[in-house]
Amino acid sequence: MSTKVSQQGSISIVFVCSLPVMLILFGIVMAVSMHLQAANRAIYASEAAAFSLAIKNRVDDQAVMKYAEYYKPYMAEIASEPKVTRRVDAADNTEYQVTVAYGFESTATVLINDQPSNIVVDGHSVSKVSVSRDAVDVALVLDTSGSMSGDMADLKNIINEALPEQNKGDTVRFSVIPFSGAVGVENVRWLPESNQSLMCVSGLSETNSTVDIPLTVKQLDFLPANLNIKATKGSEWLADCSDSGAILPLSADLTAVRNKIDSLSAGGNTASYQGLIWGVRTLLDEWSFDWSVDDKTGTKITKRLILFTDGQDGGTVFDDLTNAGVCEKIKSELNIEMSFIGYGVDSSRIRQFQSCAGGSEYVFDAQNTAELRTYLQAAIKGAVQSDLSVRH
């Protein structure tokens, strides 16, 4: 009996003596586990945040903090404000580096120095945005009919604010196609009469002096030498084709584009189908020589057309052209992306544009100046933004 008591006592003494060591080891294991978890979570948070900034291609401190909060491990805190570093190299590639730090208290050292230790671990990640140097051609098809008289100043300001400040490598070109009841041209190679004065031109093809919608669709991308373009000399008395309304062919000179926008004036009726047809023709590679612009055949070019109007066309020509397949030809055969912005127009006009564009995501219905600013600037900035590829 005495032997058993002695053995039990020995076991108790060993257990009591080893308990602090066991607690320290347990604390160390917990500390290591917390450390690994905090380190992994910090890497996840920084990685997600850096990738998000790269997609946006701008610094967003609030978004970074949300990622830090989301990935924060249980029983840990954000040790310091996440750090964001943005660098741009000579090739215009942008790098975003994000560092997130988490801190937690470890009880592993309580038995050693009577107080827990505060442990801070951090993780960082880098995402890089590579900017493609592919060219972008944008046709701005703008309603300058009489109903725009009170809003022309706002339209000019909105477009000028949306245009890029710089055009590195001349990778972005704009054409400006003002339209009212007609479209005007001057000093264009394909119409010698325009060298002497402004000429009002129609994009509609005719058969026996009657508008031929199927023929118009068929000849949309024909060279001017193969077209019988109806042209009328413009004058100050012809509201549908004023001196300020001549087309500006594709240009990488942003000053020339701004000057063209600033020169616009309002007057005349509305014929957006004329603007659409001639806007497309400013984007065709085959017409480069005739517009006297640089031929970029062989270069990958993204072509985009933005049509803005505040009114309804007279007649059914736009619908007739859509039903005859002009919009599908523009998108599928000519590879031109289209978006439409209606300003204070009725629902039937919006449906008309949606039918042409092939979906509501390419059509914007602005009912006031603030919405017009938002939609038009988003359309222009989105059109000129180079394709981005993001990598870690």
Residue 114, pLDDT > 70, answer no
Closest C-alpha to 302, from 165, 162, 159, 139? 139
% of the chain surpassing 90 pLDDT? 42
The reported pLDDT for the residue numbered 389 is 45
**Average of per-residue pLDDT across 134-163:** 90
Q: Which residue has the higher pLDDT, 257 or 63?
A: 257
> pLDDT tens digits for 345-385?
999 999 999 999 988 888 999 988 888 888 888 888 777 66
* Whether 102 contacts 41, CB under 8 Å: yes
> pLDDT tens digits for 294-348?
877 656 788 999 999 998 998 999 999 999 999 999 999 999 999 999 999 999 9
* Whether 367 contacts 333, CB under 8 Å: no
The reported pLDDT for the residue numbered 86 is 83
Q: Give dist(CA 4, CA 2) in Å, integer.
A: 5
Angle at 371 between CA 368 and CA 377, to 5 degrees: 130
